[in-house]
């Protein structure tokens, strides 16, 4: 279905440019309020990451929701999955997150969760878009929504995360470096691991409104690698700006991505439940992940890139585990959406129960070499519609044969074409990937 405003992960863009303006945010709050009002007395929880522009958008959304008669609970800086959980915990009509995830501080976005803590259904998003095209009105003075600040939101979410870790276990004896990307997890992330007994060393936990994701977090794991080695830590954990993505680092300083994390969780789950069923990955998931899971006797299905599509496949098949190489991991037996803190706790559970180091636990999956190049383009378009690009892809696929893959896809949030080549020979796939990236740049850049 064609959307005018909503993308694959809410509405996102450059702050100050449409649609990330206070005027649009207020209208969006009002439009969402009008849709939610159909369910009776609507209420909404609003959380945000640490971007300076979050204050501006929060106030505008709050005004629009109040004008539509919606009560609002302000959660303050909170991870995206925390908003999903608290929407359910407070029996709210919806949860709203103000964040641009792993993007720089000058971007921001607005995304919604349903009362069940999941992404809004397509039909609700389309209803909101219909209201956005209508003139804004204000309810009668005695029908306006009220707003309060939820002071205990942080503690509630910390306890929720801890509940996903076995009560009879603890993290005593583990030294963990936690990189919060100067983002939404900077308070709750370290607290969770400390309260479970770990010695925690924090990195990038001093947000100033403009340093979110800057040379830190899950998109820049070099900072975490260095901190793990300097502090001789057992494990490193890095989140992105809004706390729904994770990468890990073992005591040798080696990075562990989302694919490897999923395999580790799947192996631990399988020991507890032989009827786990299967795992959902994406078109970007490494072939080594697919091989490892099938060696365990687990089915593996690839969804389109994006947590929305991973969730759809999990719901369709009745499975509980899935995610992306980027570190967006869904454990539906623990929560309703991708949650980096909870994913980390599932790996730490396996570490404690097995008595193995993270380095030992990650063995058993051999990653195929994979090369990814992001190509900036003038405007979003399908690269395979270009004859030169399509011809180049066909020639490269013939060269790789059955032991390799090529994927060209447009980013859902940025004007980029992601060129990915996977195979058994690093030199070969690097050459092919660069050739294809140059062809895309020449045709669409």
**Pair type for strands 405-410 and 416-422:** antiparallel
Report the distance separating Cα 182 and Cα 247, nearest Å: 15
Q: How many helices (H) and strands (E) does the chain have?
A: 14, 18
Return the biggest CA–CA distance within the chain.
Answer: 70
CA separation, residue 127 to residues 7, 19, 33, 277 (Å): 15, 18, 11, 35
Tokens of 381: 């378009």
Phi, psi for residue 33 in degrees, rounded to 5: -60, -40
| Residue carrying structure tokens 């909503």 | 6
Torsion of CA 22, 26, 28, 31, to 10 degrees: -160
202: which strand partners? 178
CA separation, residue 132 to residues 11, 43, 121 (Å): 13, 19, 17
- Is 63 noted as a catalytic residue in this protein? no
Q: Which of 101, 114, 218, 326 is catalytic?
A: 101
Smallest Cα–Cα separation from 46: which of 90, 104, 102, 107? 90
What are the residues whose beta carbons fall under 8 Å from the beta carbon of 234, sequence distance 6 or more? 174, 175, 176, 251, 357, 358
Torsion of CA 74, 326, 323, 306, to 10 degrees: 70
Which DSSP string do the residues of 113-143 spell out, in sequence order? EETTSSBPPHHHHHHHHHHHTSPP----GGG
Tell me if 217 sits within 8 A of 184, measured CB to CB.
no
Tell me if 281 sits within 8 A of 301, measured CB to CB.
yes
Tokens of 34: 């009008």
Report the distance separating Cα 367 and Cα 419, nearest Å: 18
203: which strand partners? 179
Active site residues: 101
């Amino acid at each position: 279905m064609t959307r005018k405003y909503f993308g694959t992960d809410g509405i996102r863009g450059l702050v100050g440019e449409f649609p990330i303006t206070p005027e649009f945010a207020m209208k969006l709050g009002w439009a969402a309020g009008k849709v939610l009002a159909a369910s009776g007395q609507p209420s909404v929880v609003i959380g945000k990451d640490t971007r300076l522009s979050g204050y501006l958008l929060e106030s505008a959304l709050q005004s629009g929701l109040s004008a539509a008669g919606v009560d609002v609970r302000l959660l303050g800086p909170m991870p995206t999955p925390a908003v999903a959980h608290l929407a359910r915990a407070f029996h709210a009509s919806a949860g709203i997150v103000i964040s641009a995830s792993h993007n720089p501080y000058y971007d921001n976005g607005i995304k919604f969760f349903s009362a069940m803590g999941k992404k809004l259904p397509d039909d609700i998003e389309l209803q909101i878009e219909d209201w956005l095209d209508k003139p804004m009105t204000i309810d009668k003075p005695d029908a306006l929504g009220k707003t309060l600040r939820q002071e205990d939101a942080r503690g509630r979410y910390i306890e929720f995360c801890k509940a996903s870790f076995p009560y009879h276990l603890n993290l005593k004896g583990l030294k963990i470096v936690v990189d919060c990307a100067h983002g939404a997890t900077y308070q709750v992330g370290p607290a969770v691991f400390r309260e479970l007994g770990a010695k925690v060393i924090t990195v990038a936990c001093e947000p100033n409104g403009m340093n979110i994701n800057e040379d830190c977090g899950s998109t820049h794991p070099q900072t975490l690698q260095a901190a793990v080695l300097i502090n001789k830590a057992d494990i490193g954990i890095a989140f992105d700006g809004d706390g729904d993505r994770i990468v890990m680092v073992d005591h040798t300083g080696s990075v562990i991505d989302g694919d490897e994390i999923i395999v580790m969780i799947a192996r631990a789950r399988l020991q507890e439940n032989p009827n786990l069923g299967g795992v959902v990955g994406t078109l970007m998931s490494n072939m080594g992940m697919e091989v490892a899971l099938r060696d365990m006797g687990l089915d593996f299905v690839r969804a389109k890139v994006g947590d929305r599509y991973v969730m759809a496949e999990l719901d369709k098949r009745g499975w509980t585990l899935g995610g992306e190489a980027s570190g967006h991991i869904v454990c539906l037996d623990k929560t309703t959406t991708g949650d980096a803190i909870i994913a980390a706790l599932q790996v730490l559970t396996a570490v404690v129960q097995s008595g193995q180091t993270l380095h030992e636990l990650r063995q058993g999956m051999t990653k195929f070499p994979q090369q990814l190049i992001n190509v900036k383009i003038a405007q979003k378009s399908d690269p395979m519609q270009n004859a030169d690009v399509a011809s180049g892809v066909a020639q490269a696929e013939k060269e790789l044969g059955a032991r390799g893959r090529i994927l060209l896809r447009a980013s859902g949030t940025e004007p980029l074409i992601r060129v990915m080549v996977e195979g058994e020979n690093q030199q070969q796939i690097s050459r092919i990937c660069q050739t294809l990236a140059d062809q895309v740049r020449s045709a669409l850049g």
